[in-house]
């Protein structure tokens, strides 16, 4: 039976309330870290700061050169060759995979092609400043 995780919008980076979510990431060597990002239905891919790849223990051979399209144009990035395991903070019994793109000067975004596909539904309630993730 699906489980619903209801979360309020947060002012995590002091830039205004947004649908921020904390996710625990697990690198191939066993390194893990918490990462915060915006649950972004406008982001095609999950995009994380490039430093996150190093903290996860990813080496150059674990990353493939890539580009991401942003409002300001295309930007150089690196995509994980293999999926990264992830868990929602507070939901340790549900694990999913991400194929993040890492780029300089970027805050975290949880995107449609990997993050959104891990869940049954993600619903935004803008007036209430909250969102609901339905976990299968």
Task: Write the pLDDT tens digit of every residue in 43-77.
Answer: 999 999 999 999 999 999 999 999 887 767 788 89
What does R_g of the chain's alpha carbons equal in angstroms?
15
Element (H, E) at 20: strand 20-26
In order of their start, the domains of the chain are 3-135 (2.40.70.10)
Question: For the whole model, what pTM was predicted?
Answer: 0.91
Burial pattern 35-68, b for ≥16 Cβ within 10 A else e, equals bebbbbeebebbbbbbebbeebebeeebbeeeeb
Alpha-carbon distance of 34 to 48, in angstroms, equals 12
Instruction: Using alpha carbons, select from 76, 77, 38, 82 the residue that is nearest to residue 56.
Output: 82
């Amino acid at each position: 039976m699906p489980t619903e995780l209801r979360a309020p919008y947060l002012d995590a980076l002091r830039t205004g309330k947004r649908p921020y979510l904390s996710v625990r990431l697990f690198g191939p060597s066993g390194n893990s870290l918490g990462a915060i990002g915006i649950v972004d239905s406008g982001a095609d891919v999950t995009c994380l700061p490039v430093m996150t790849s190093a903290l996860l223990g990813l080496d150059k051979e674990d990353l493939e050169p890539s580009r991401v399209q942003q409002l300001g144009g295309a930007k150089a990035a690196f995509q994980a060759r293999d999926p990264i395991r992830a868990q929602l903070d507070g939901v340790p019994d549900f694990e999913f995979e991400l194929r993040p793109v890492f780029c300089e000067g970027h805050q975290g975004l949880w995107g449609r092609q990997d993050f959104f596909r891990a869940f049954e539904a993600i619903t935004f309630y803008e007036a209430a400043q909250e969102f609901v993730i339905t976990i299968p």
